[in-house]
Amino acid sequence: MRPTIAVTAILLACPASAGFGDPSAEARLAAGEVLIQTRAVAGSDIPEATVEAVADAPPAAVWRIIDDCANYKRTMPRISESRLLSRTGNISVCEVTVDMPMPTSDLTSVNEATATIGPPLWRRAWRLLRGDYKRNGGSWTLSAFDAAGTRTRIVYKVHAEPNTSVPAFIIRKAQQRALPELIERVRAAAKIK
């Protein structure tokens, strides 16, 4: 499954920020900045968000966090339940419930994820099978950020649109905190491993 992950808490995007394609982006990433960009998606009021950041751990260590959907409850923000339903080869099916603030109901999805295990790239791309979403898809892509492979470039893309309307205050909260919080949780979990 994908990190439906607080994706839904995130689901609703952040304002576009400078970063991608910016000549200073590498230095900003190296310094620990989280870069966020959004783009419109045809037929949806909710944009796709792309987050880029660096973790101070090798890609294989970060991959263990991303690939372990059964433990998203412990490693990802706002996940109240998570479980691996099946795994066959590089395909896994996971169920994840995002803990939404009141008055919004929690959101559950069952997603199918396809894994590509590196090096040089580790990638987990997911798509919605069923659940409380009209759309829920995205990917995690990991690669070495430095020549020694001790740091990881993380690129997280998500487009999650719930079946229900989401109050504006939740959208604002997601814009301000959810995506950076997601990266911080992954960084912290990778350091522990």
Domain boundaries, the chain: 7-192
Per-position pLDDT tens, the chain of length 193: 444 333 334 333 333 344 556 768 999 999 999 999 888 889 887 888 899 999 999 999 999 999 999 999 999 998 999 999 999 999 999 999 999 877 778 999 999 999 999 999 999 999 999 999 999 999 999 999 999 999 999 999 999 888 887 654 565 466 557 889 999 999 999 986 5
Provide the token pair at 179. Answer: 């995506």
Q: Which CATH number fits domain 7-192: 3.40.30.10, 3.40.50.360, 3.40.50.300, 3.30.530.20?
A: 3.30.530.20
Provide the token pair at 48. Answer: 């796709």
| pLDDT of amino acid 173 | 61
CB-CB neighbours of 148 under 10 Å: 8
| pLDDT of amino acid 174 | 65
Model confidence, pTM: 0.85
Torsion of CA 117, 127, 184, 11, to 10 degrees: 160
| pLDDT of amino acid 169 | 58
Burial label for 130, CB within 10 Å (0-12, 13-18, 19+), is exposed
Report the C-alpha gap between 166 and 84 in whole angstroms: 27
